[in-house]
Structure 1
């Protein structure tokens, strides 16, 4: 076997091993905070309660929320990136409920922005951010789980939680410095459609306002809702003992008054999310921060491939 063939087989072997290693690690930590919102009408969040919460910042100023999906990927709303799509202008803060507290949190720079191809206004309002460097998991920094795509249907609880550093009231000029949390009821799509489009039942030819790509949630009576600055932040549900990301704060009419909030349906876009991340990780395999791991597994891999596979010294990964 020639060097080219050996290199190909080695990459397949290592890629499969690393992929299963990372998947197992991610599944064992996601959605499991140690600690076992406004968000309008909410309250201050306790430290480590929402360790996947991200503050997306442009020129060191908070613009949106987001959620940590893995040690290198963030998911947020596409409309949060309207001002510019130049990755290195954005940073994310993780690990602190107090925004801009550099003593507690960590700041990481964005290296890549991936906008959903169908994004237009409120449609396809989802984007992925790849970080320059990998985060180190801790009690205050952990990813949130995505739903198990193998299940035919995800049963969403009657209420879930929203978090963010958005305005406490629509008319407020300032944003809170402490992460806010609120439990909000999930509203069925048809009921939400009737709220936003009361004439829809009389004019069936009109395109629905609330599409299957969206989730509706909020407590209008108690004034619990998301607001400006919460966009892109998580709508998280506690299902089967773990926290699952089912929505991203996307749009609405007002804040906590008359209309519930509309969220991007993350489950609907989950195959796209996994496809983007998988493709990027394969293309960037040489940038994995697993040097020590590779130093130990490469000799074993070569042995398994046979003595005909002989390489030079230029096989070491680099960041």
Structure 2
């Protein structure tokens, strides 16, 4: 990207910043895709079926999935991010099921990364991304709902859906270009613990492998599961007529094996999500200042710096935790 491209980028972002806010409320649009009817063992998804699905990119490389939860916020897995890196170098791509066809989708730059303070490997594996500019809703771009925190207990159905551009099989060299979808059974918490920790019944005082902050899902018989590159993507459940974000693809042993996938329990962290978003709105940070400084810094880096390969492309090759 040369100086002319950088100038165009800055003017484009400034123009987007000055655009008007969305008129539709979040509650009236979330979890209601227009279309109603590979993740390992999955199939190609239909256009507009999962309009909240995003691809998290670093230096134009897909590293993880994520979900749009409002016109300004994305939720993904904490392990997808490097907190020491500049947020603006991350982008989210949304609006199309074809990951290589940028003409169909929309790109937004990240202005802020908020990683859960308890994150430690698999625990607390959740992060929020604030976008520089607001997303314009359409039939192919809509947020997914979060559960109603006022309810004492959310009744999760027996099976939910996972989506992503992760590998179709463990060890594959390439990722699919079309978004994959798969319906996977929800696995009871204690059963999942027994699978990952067979000694659990004999060691009741031991620290559990599957914590209360996690949800397990996967079709162990048909090999339907998430894999490398699906991390941070949604585990979505159809409840009371709307789609609700229940989990984020986090970790697991192998892909489509006898071990289920383990997901971050979004419901558990929902109060934290709402508090982060609320504080950001109340503070009313000067986005124009951030936009200008980060845009110029971004252009400088593109011109003079050869960025390293993100860890998400090379790390944990024996786990689904990164692409």
Report what 1:167 is aligned to.
167
The yes-or-no answer on 1:47 pairing with 2:40 is: no
- 1:237 aligned counterpart, secondary structure: strand
**How many angstroms does 1:83 deviate by?**
7.8
1:156-235 matches, within 5 Å, as 156-235=156-235
Residue 321 of structure 2 corresponds to which residue in structure 1?
Answer: none
CA distance in 1, matches of 2:56, 2:99: 10
Cα distance, 1:82 vs. partner? Answer: 3.3
SS at match of 1:281: helix
Which residue does 1:251 correspond to in 2? 251
Question: Which piece of structure 1 moves more, 266-275 or 197-206?
Answer: 197-206
- The corresponding residue for 1:117 is 117
1:126-148 CA distances to partner (integer Å, 9 max, x unpaired)? 00000000010000000000000
2:146 maps to 146
CA deviations 1:100-147 (Å, max 9, x no partner) are 311110011000000000000100000000000001000000000000
In the alignment, structure 2 segments of 5+ residues that lack a partner are 1-20, 289-323
| Structure 1 ranges of 4+ moved more than 6 A | 21-24
Tell me by how many angstroms 1:232 deviates.
Answer: 0.1
Query: Shift in Å at residue 76 of structure 1?
Result: 0.1
1:178 to partner: Cα distance:
0.3
The offset of 1:205, in angstroms, is 1.9
Unaligned runs of 5+ in 1: 1-20, 289-319
Distance in 2 (alpha carbons) for counterparts of 1:83 and 1:172: 28
Contact kept in structure 2, 1:85 and 1:113, CA below 8 Å: no
Per the normalisation by structure 1, the TM-score is 0.81
Q: Would you say the 8 A contact 2:83–2:113 is kept in 1?
A: no
TM-score, normalised to structure 2, is: 0.80
Distance 1:55 1:102 in 2: 11
| Cα distance in 1 between the residues matched to 2:277 and 2:177 | 31
Equivalent position of 2:80 in the other structure: 80
Aligned length: 267
Taking the aligned partners of 1:145 and 1:85, their CA distance within structure 2 comes to: 29
Secondary structure, counterpart of 2:194 in structure 1: helix
Whether the 8 Å contact between 1:78 and 1:116 is mirrored in structure 2 is yes
Q: Deviations over 1:20-61 (max 9, x none)?
A: x9897100000000001x210000000000000000000000
Contact 1:39–1:182 (CA under 8 A) maintained in structure 2:
yes
SS of residue in 2 equivalent to 1:280: helix
Which has the greater radius of gyration? 1
Per-residue deviation, 1:206: 1.3
Provide Cα deviations, 1:269-311, integer angstroms capped at 9, x if missing partner. Answer: 00000000010011127769xxxxxxxxxxxxxxxxxxxxxxx
